Amino acid sequence: MGRLATLDDGQLQTTVRTAAVGDAADVAPLLEALGYPCTRDEAAERILVAISDPRQQLLLAERDGHVCGLVALHTLYMIANGADLARITALVVDPTCHRQGVGRRLLREAEAVARRTGAARIEVTSGAQRTEARAFYCGCGYSDDSQRFVKLLGD
């Protein structure tokens, strides 16, 4: 799919576009940098699942023709609120591009997509050990308002 937006940050342009299965070789190392390793084939499968679901968006940031970040967004209906919620399920920037505005650019694009789809709110979770990520989200206007409880469902 085509490019969604371009921003000139004074050094390099950051272009945000929808991911395609052919981006698997770029997506796999980004997911690994986030702490979720996968092979190129696994990344291709994950991309296919995401882009086949109209309630999901997978966007990639590019600089100088190279993928340098991704954001995944899932919209779901929240019965308690009676409205759609957009949930960022992954946000990662290549470590060589940290502190260059790529993460903020991806976050702004995810927020714009959420608004266009009619979501009433947007949320993102981050592990307590990810202190830099937590500071990043707070600096972007997100509040730390709840605690998440998780239980793995094994075989």
DSSP 12: S
Q: Given this model, what pLDDT does residue 143 score?
A: 86
Cα–Cα distance, 47 to 66 (Å, whole number): 18
For 134, the enclosing helix (H) or strand (E) is helix 131-139
Hey, what are 56's tokens? 């999901």
Q: Given this model, what pLDDT does residue 3 score?
A: 45
List domains and CATH numbers for the chain: 3-139 (3.40.630.30)
Residues 87, 122 contacting (CB under 8 angstroms): yes
Burial of 42 (0-12, 13-18, 19+ CB in 10 A): middle
Q: Given this model, what pLDDT does residue 46 score?
A: 97
Helix (H, G, I), strand (E, B) or coil at 154: coil
Residues 26, 60 contacting (CB under 8 angstroms): yes
At 155, the pLDDT band (50, 70, 90 cuts) reads low
Cα–Cα distance, 147 to 126 (Å, whole number): 10
Q: Given this model, what pLDDT does residue 59 score?
A: 98
**Confidence check: pLDDT of 33 > 70:** yes
pLDDT in tens, 124-145: 888 777 878 888 888 888 888 7
Q: Say if strands 121-124 and 83-93 run parallel, antiparallel, or are unpaired.
A: parallel
Helices 40-52 and 24-34, axial angle in degrees (round to 10): 100
Closest CA to 18 of 72, 55, 87: 72
pLDDT in tens, 81-123: 899 999 999 999 999 999 999 999 999 999 999 999 999 999 9
pLDDT in tens, 10-27: 557 899 999 999 999 999
- Sequence-distant (6+) residues with CB within 8 A of 114 are 73, 75, 86, 122
